[in-house]
Structure 1
Amino acid sequence: MSVRTDPVPCDIDELRTLFLFEKLNDEQLQWLCEHGHTIHAEPGQVYTEGETAACFYVLLEGTLVLSRLIGGGDVEMTRTGQVGAYTGAWQAYLGDRAPQAYNHSMRVVVPSRLLVLDARDLALIMQDWFPMAVHLLEGLFWGQQNMRQVTDQRERLLALGSLSAGLTHELNNPAAAAVRATSVLRDRVAGMRHKLGAIAAGPWDRMTMEQLMKLQEKAVEQVAKAPTLSPMEASDREDALGEWFSDHGIVGGWDLAPTFVQAGLAADWLDDVEAVVAPDVLEGAVRWINYSVETELLMNEIEDSVTRISTLVASAKQYSQLDRAPFQVVDVHELLEATLLMLSAKIGKQIRVVKDYDRTLPQVSAYASELNQVWTNIIDNAIQAMAGVGTLTIRTARADDSMLVEIGDTGPGVPQDIRSRIFEPFFTTKPVGQGTGLGLDISWRIIVEKHHGDLRLVPAPGDTRFQIRLPLVSAERP
């Protein structure tokens, strides 16, 4: 900030016109002028979120902007040129009962004039000057309401962006696999056409062709029944097939072996092929069957990829509830599964997910998309608490007349000194700019205020659990 540091006289008559000070007497106004001072500020930053809250500011002339760091971005909360608008160390009167740090940033966008009061002086007069305290508390209330609304919306957008990134990653893998398999399949079909022409021109009698076609059909059927092999088992079988091809003079047989192993075809099955065809056409018959098996494997890969994409899209619809009524009868387990799938990329491979569901529980009347937001907030916190390594446990059970949903993690737990504050709006243990402090506040409001349920923390190092209780009796639609 560019500030003119030479003393600027304080005008008592000017202060008297401001709504914040309109009820103060001359003695109090004189006290303000003696303890405060006026500054001229050029456009730029006045203070930054997270810094020690040392001063209280009142706008006398110009325009100020208040903003917060949310998700790494600076989000504008308020812009005003209203003379008398105030900001800064408004929590000074709480002393050491609250963190004395700016919970937002302030800058001026045009040359401005500000009254500056030391935080300690503000704390002193807040205790004695009741009319001013009323104004401050009113401003604090409406300012907090506005800030919560804007930050709440930003929190939802950040969650949506994170989930969209994860969904894009999850969709990209099967889509890429389907494209690759389609490209290879096109080459294999072209090879089959070429091989079919060679067979038609070769010394194949009708009976041999019929027997070969039966073997081909059996090979395709075997693909669906192929066993799952360990890398060691697959390697051993490939070696055995490679030797069979080499013994029978089939050039490049080692390249064919992986396909036959993947289809569950072993050397004894190739003996059946050898018994059907003449030695001079054995290689052509083996390669023909290889093309058939490979095309079947590729089609299975395409089918699996497309099924995976369809499953992801269905889960995204289940998560977003875009095509459904806001308030509906839902299976909570379906919502939990959709959320876990949407967060699978963020969960990663080093977190083990344990599901302990009581499938006998009835459905509940709820705001489905908002419950999904609760699961997202709590699971996301658990992932961060475990630093990407540990066990995430999701459990459902009956608890009297409620459904209990318990989400636990093996992270270090919540420190004793902050447990009572975790549901407070804007309270966060994350570095400045990395958390809004509204995730659990939003979750609490959704569960307690909208669903008449209960949300609580059961803390323990290595076994931290959030318990959500939802009434099994249908809640009334508001």
Structure 2
Amino acid sequence: MTNIQNLPRQQLNIKDALRQVPLFVKLPETELQWLCDRGQEVWREAGEVHRQEGDPADHVFILLEGEIRITQQVGNQQLVLATYDTQTLFGELPVLMGQDTYWASGIAIKRSRIFELPKDAFWRLLSTCSCVTASILSTMAQRMQTVQTIAQQREKLAALGTLAAGLAHEMNNPAAAVRRSAKHLHELWQDIPCFTLKLKQQMTNEQLGFLIDMQCEAVQRAQNISTLDPLTQSDREDEIAEWLTTHHVENSWQLAPILVGTGLDSTWLESIAQKIPTDALSGAIAWLAASLTGVGAIEEIDRCADRISQLVQAIKDYSYMDRAPLQDVDVHQGLESTVTILSHKLKGGVTVIRNYDRNLPRIVGYGGALNQVWTNLIDNAIDAMQGQGKIWLRTWQEHDHIVVEIADNGSGIPANIQPRIFEPFFTTKGVGQGTGLGLDVTYRIIVGKHHGDINFTSKPGDTCFRVRLPIAAS
């Protein structure tokens, strides 16, 4: 016979400790003893990890003493999902949802006493004890809603961060070009007056008028010039540089690219040389080149300002700023705004092919939410292709619905996980690379908010998501 006095103190108290847990207050004595026999007691010191995100989801836990914090790794941050106090059940969500692994970590905040119950015993408890089942399912529903709310907010913030990074990347190039052109104009502003004053001393009014006319003609040529291939560009620069050197024009190798870039050739320059005094030719060509450079800089500033304006309009369209939540939505505008925002991810070799029904009617919906759908689907397609491939955007009308297809020729979705991709917290990405809520959010926006439908087909080289949305609001 076992001497009770020789048993560890924790083993003597485990049944009494479980009895104090509200979940087991009404549990029959035999069932409580069965529970004690199936589980085991562990202790975790403050700061110690109890279960790590990604560990097999093979137990549920009852916190008998102490405090446990539940966290999820998202990127470089630890997202706090919940903090549990004494006499609390935790870790049940992955088990009840059929997850193979825990999608969050548990860390002891204080020295904690934990009762671990294998999931098989937990399922048996649910099937035999209705008082426990009702309490657990009620708790699960509340926790699921809380966790999803937190994680969805984090998903939105992560998406906002991606958009902000993309917008900053896209704006950086035109902004840098504007700064560069402004600096160049500042330098030209100091040089051109000097050229002009010197030419007035060397040339007659008639010759100056001729040079101004030639400048206007050169500007007109520059506006209509087509882009040359590198070999032709190099050959023409050599030809112009040789002509300039022959006519004793200073800095010929610096001026040649400018003149060729505006569509000028040696024949055109020769027409100037015949009307301009020899001692003024070098200054006249330099003045022309500076003028053409200034015009080019102004045009570049105009193009860059227009690009920045387009980006600002795209983000405004994307976010549906200053508009009511429910509005008439042009899905083509939403798709194009999304492509613009994600364009920094497309430059590595991703081609977007549009096949739009331009007669498609507007729909009544939530524009900002739908743009989040397009972002999730297009971003996933880009990831699936690893930066190289094609994305097809197609739209058409089916009776009182519109259909939006987003397809790609990436690696595809493995057949064994296809039935689970819309499950909350399910993700094929590594720990810290995703919350597993992108497609869950997409499903909720399409089905829950818009009473539409979303489905997909996938095999290697051909994945297609098809979204159906009612034209009129439900």
1:165 equivalent in alignment to 2:165: yes
Could you tell me which residue of structure 2 aligns to residue 203 of structure 1? 202
> What amino acid is the match of 2:34?
W
Q: 1:414 to 1:6 in 2, by over 3 A?
A: farther
In terms of mean alpha carbon deviation, does 151-160 or 44-53 score higher? 44-53
In terms of mean alpha carbon deviation, does 219-228 or 293-302 score higher? 219-228
Structure 1 residue 269, shift from structure 2 partner: 1.4
Aligned residue for 2:426, secondary structure, equals coil
Distance 2:275 2:192 in 1: 20
> What amino acid is the match of 2:159?
A
Q: CA RMSD in A?
A: 1.9
1:23 equivalent in alignment to 2:29: no
1:400 equivalent in alignment to 2:404: no
Distance 1:90 1:170 in 2: 41
Distance 2:451 2:15 in 1: 52
Q: 1:92 to 1:294 in 2, by over 3 A?
A: closer
In terms of mean alpha carbon deviation, does 273-282 or 383-392 score higher? 273-282
1:293-325, Cα deviation, whole Å (9 max, x unpaired): 111111111111111111111111111112222
Could you tell me which residue of structure 1 aligns to residue 133 of structure 2? 133
Structure 1 residue 446, shift from structure 2 partner: 0.9
Aligned residue for 1:68, secondary structure, equals strand
Could you tell me which residue of structure 1 aligns to residue 144 of structure 2? 144
Could you tell me which residue of structure 2 aligns to residue 313 of structure 1? 312
Could you tell me which residue of structure 2 aligns to residue 264 of structure 1? 263
Matches within 5 A, 1:36-435: 36-44=39-47, 45-81=49-85, 83-88=86-91, 92=95, 98-200=98-200, 202-435=201-434
Structure 1 residue 30, shift from structure 2 partner: 2.0
> What amino acid is the match of 1:25?
P
**Is the Cα–Cα contact under 8 Å of residues 93 and 124 in structure 1 kept in the other structure?**
no
Could you tell me which residue of structure 2 aligns to residue 10 of structure 1? 13
1:204-263, Cα deviation, whole Å (9 max, x unpaired): 111111111111222222222222222122112212211211221213212101111111
**Is the Cα–Cα contact under 8 Å of residues 414 and 460 in structure 1 kept in the other structure?**
yes
1:444-465, Cα deviation, whole Å (9 max, x unpaired): 1111121121111022321111
Distance 2:303 2:411 in 1: 39
1:5-26, Cα deviation, whole Å (9 max, x unpaired): 9954334333223211112111
Structure 1 residue 280, shift from structure 2 partner: 1.9
In terms of mean alpha carbon deviation, does 287-296 or 267-276 score higher? 267-276
In terms of mean alpha carbon deviation, does 5-14 or 110-119 score higher? 5-14
**Is the Cα–Cα contact under 8 Å of residues 93 and 127 in structure 1 kept in the other structure?**
no
Distance 2:17 2:202 in 1: 110
Distance 1:206 1:150 in 2: 77
**Is the Cα–Cα contact under 8 Å of residues 47 and 106 in structure 1 kept in the other structure?**
yes
> What amino acid is the match of 1:106?
G
Could you tell me which residue of structure 1 aligns to residue 473 of structure 2? 475
Structure 1 residue 90, shift from structure 2 partner: 5.7
Structure 1 residue 123, shift from structure 2 partner: 3.3
Q: 1:163 to 1:233 in 2, by over 3 A?
A: same
Structure 1 residue 92, shift from structure 2 partner: 4.9
Distance 1:93 1:437 in 2: 17
**Is the Cα–Cα contact under 8 Å of residues 92 and 120 in structure 1 kept in the other structure?**
no
> What amino acid is the match of 1:139?
T
Distance 2:95 2:168 in 1: 46
Distance 2:221 2:283 in 1: 20
1:411-466, Cα deviation, whole Å (9 max, x unpaired): 12122222222111111111122111111111111111211211110223211110
In terms of mean alpha carbon deviation, does 161-170 or 408-417 score higher? 408-417
Q: 1:229 to 1:392 in 2, by over 3 A?
A: same
Structure 1 residue 91, shift from structure 2 partner: 5.3
In terms of mean alpha carbon deviation, does 153-162 or 22-31 score higher? 22-31
**Is the Cα–Cα contact under 8 Å of residues 38 and 115 in structure 1 kept in the other structure?**
yes
**Is the Cα–Cα contact under 8 Å of residues 42 and 114 in structure 2 kept in the other structure?**
yes
Dislocated runs of 4+, deviation >6 Å: none
* % identical equivalent positions: 38
> What amino acid is the match of 1:395?
R
Where structure 2 has 5 or more consecutive residues not aligned to the other structure, the ranges are: 1-7
Aligned residue for 1:393, secondary structure, equals strand
Distance 1:11 1:204 in 2: 107
**TM-score (norm: length of structure 2):** 0.94
**TM-score (norm: length of structure 1):** 0.93
Distance 2:130 2:121 in 1: 15
**Is the Cα–Cα contact under 8 Å of residues 94 and 103 in structure 2 kept in the other structure?**
no
> What amino acid is the match of 1:189?
W
